[in-house]
Amino acid sequence: MKKEKQTEFILDAKKMPRHIAIIMDGNGRWAKKRLLPRTMGHRAGMAALRKTVETCSNMGIPVLTVFAFSTENWKRPFEEVDYLMKLLIEFLNKEIAELHQENVRIRLLGNYELLPAECQVEIKRALELTGNNTGMVFNIAVNYGARSEIIRGVRNVAEKLLDHDISLDDINEQLFSSYLYTAGLPDPDLLIRTAGEKRISNFLLWQIAYSELWVTDTLWPDFDRHHLIEAIYEYQQRNRKFGGLS
């Protein structure tokens, strides 16, 4: 058996990201390589997600956000969409008690009122059960698209303005951020994308203005704590300037 060379990355505890966002891509390719149906790739992706949540929570990462289903994913064949919805139900159903024990607080980004009724029931249960937890915030983006999130924010701000609850001078970046699904949370410091594609795919467009991007060719189901540590290590080597000088 080929032995993998494992490099040791020593992390700086003082420079940990406060928020990690992940575009979990490559489930389909992972399945195809094994001559399995795409759904099996998503199932393996769910297992990788569960481990990643645990690793991040154990590391003390304050916020983790994952892209589980985009507003554009409805274009996929019905069977695949249906399977993804069932996986979400299974994930919440199976893992909720343990996540609650780990003090993880679940939040949903996206319009989940358009999901199947059974999904909504599980989501509401998870939000209620973990709502007062004080550990890691775990954002699951489902039926999420950044452009529609921004339009929703604009409409809500406009409504407040028309109702004279706010004035034009009140509208600034901080106020607008509070109208997004991620209200009250720090912006992602690190955005990870698996499976090699170098694009953002309508994910957190407002929030990632100054995020550090890290792309790996590793397919999502193969992503593990070593990849996560490597991503955080590389993030820690970056010189973040936020438009200023170093």
Which residue ranges make up the site for ligand FPP (CB under 6 A)?
Answer: 24-29, 42, 45-46, 49, 68, 73, 84, 87-88, 91, 140, 195, 220
Q: Among residues 15 and 29, whose Cβ is nearest to ligand FPP?
A: 29
Q: Cα–Cα distance between 205 and 139 in angstroms, integer? A: 15
Q: Which two structure tokens, joined as six digits, stand for 35?
A: 């001559």
Closest separation in Å from C-beta 231 to ligand FPP: 17
Tokens of 34: 């094994």
Q: Interior CA angle at 99 toward 228 and 88, to 5°?
A: 80
Cβ closest to ligand FPP, residue 196 vs residue 237: 196
Q: Do 63 and 185 contact (CB within 8 A), yes or no?
A: yes
Polymer length in residues for the chain: 246
103 is an active site residue: no
Identify the CA nearest to 88 among candidates 128, 127, 115: 115
Query: Do residues 38 and 80 touch, judged by C-beta distance below 8 A?
Result: yes
Active-site residue identified among 12, 27, 58, 73: 73
Residue 213 CB, nearest distance to ligand FPP (Å)?
Answer: 17
Is 25 in the active site? Answer: yes
Shorter beta-carbon distance to ligand FPP: residue 83 or 214: 83
Query: CB 118 → ligand FPP: shortest distance, Å?
Result: 13
CB-nearest residue to ligand FPP:
28
Q: Which residues carry out catalysis?
A: 25, 73
